[in-house]
Amino acid sequence: MAPEDKKPKGKPPAKAAKKEKPPAVEDKPFAEFVEQHYIPALKEALGKQGLDDLELSFAKQKVAASLGENGDCAQVIGRWMNGRRQFNIYFPAEDIKGPRAFSCFEGSSQPSTLEPFLIDERKIDLDLLVFYVVQRLNGQKWLGPN
């Protein structure tokens, strides 16, 4: 081997610096995540299920008295069929990783059950939050021709 073929031993060349990934949408402030990501994704997913007249809103308001809860709570509220069907997703801690609950009702009644919402999941992300609502409303037989 010729001396010029030998490369000096030492540190290997430095790798190009990795580009930092933008923060996950789930890491954004709660209100920003809900308004800019969750509501549009939920509207799109439910629109694909045929809910063209769906109205989604985000508000901090009292939990229905029929549920026996007091106090204001951040909620995503979905209404369609001229308000005859409604679901609420509750975020009492204003954090998608905190406690969550779900209720739904039809007609002029009020919700009678506050259901736990994704309590067994370790990692909560946008897709899972959307999927659960679609799954739950489908289980209620409110989506498509069941």
pLDDT in tens, the chain (146 residues): 555 555 556 565 556 566 777 677 777 888 899 999 999 999 999 988 888 889 999 999 887 655 556 678 899 999 988 888 889 999 988 988 888 889 888 876 666 677 777 777 778 888 999 999 899 888 888 776 65
- The identity of residue 103, as a single letter, is S
Question: For residue 105, what are the domain limits?
Answer: 28-139
What residues contact 59, with CB distance under 8 A and at least 6 apart?
74, 75, 77
Query: Is this structure's pTM higher than 0.85?
Result: no
Gap between the Cα atoms of 29 and 74, Å rounded: 13
User: How many domains does the chain contain in total?
Assistant: 1
Any domain includes 17? no
The per-type count for the chain, helices as H runs and strands as E runs, is 3, 5
Any domain includes 14? no
Q: Which residues of 103-132 are buried (b: 16+ CB within 10 A; e: fewer)?
A: bbbeeeeebeebeebbeeeeebebeebbeb
